[in-house]
Homo-oligomer: A and B are copies of this chain.
Amino acid sequence: MVMTGDDRVASLNRSSASADPREGPSTDVGRVRNFWRTVDRVPAGAAISVRPGGRTRNIVVVTGWIAESRILPDGRRQIFAFMLPGDMAAVSESSHVGSRGLVALTNVEIADAAALGRGALDEPVANSLAEAMRRREERLFDHVVRIGRLSAMERVLNLLLELYDRLDAVGLVKDDTFRIPLTQEMFADALGLSVVHINRTLQQLRRKGMLTVGRGAVTLHDRQRLAAFACYESERPAERPLGRCGSMAGG
Contact = CB atoms under 8 A, between A and B. Distances in A.
A98 interface: yes
A80 B191 CA distance: 16
A130 to B, nearest CB: 12
A222 interface: no
A245 B147 contact: no
Interface stretch (A6-14, A30-38, A66-74): A66-74
Nearest to A142: B70
Interface residues of A, number: 31
Contacts of A98: 233, 240
A149 B231 contact: no
A24 interface: no
Interface in A136-169: 137, 140-141, 143-145, 147-149
B76 A149 contact: yes
A159 to B, nearest CB: 12
A192 B72 contact: no
A73 to B, nearest CB: 5
Given A98-B233, A137-B137, A145 B72 contact: yes
Contact of A78 (B148, B240, B245): B148
Interface in A50-102: 70, 72-78, 80, 98, 100
A144 B140 contact: yes
A144 B98 CA distance: 14
Interface-centre pick from A145, A192, A243 (highest chain B CB count, 10 A): A145
Contact of A245 (B74, B148, B242, B243): B74
A246 interface: yes
Contacts of A100: 141
A137 B81 CA distance: 13
What are the 3 A-B residue pairs with the smallest beta carbon separation, nearest first?
A148-B192, A74-B244, A147-B148
27 contacts: A70-B141, A70-B145, A72-B149, A72-B245, A73-B242, A73-B243, A73-B245, A74-B245, A75-B244, A76-B149, A78-B144, A78-B149, A98-B233, A98-B240, A100-B141, A137-B137, A137-B140, A140-B140, A140-B141, A143-B144, A144-B144, A144-B147, A147-B147, A147-B192, A148-B191, A148-B192, A149-B192
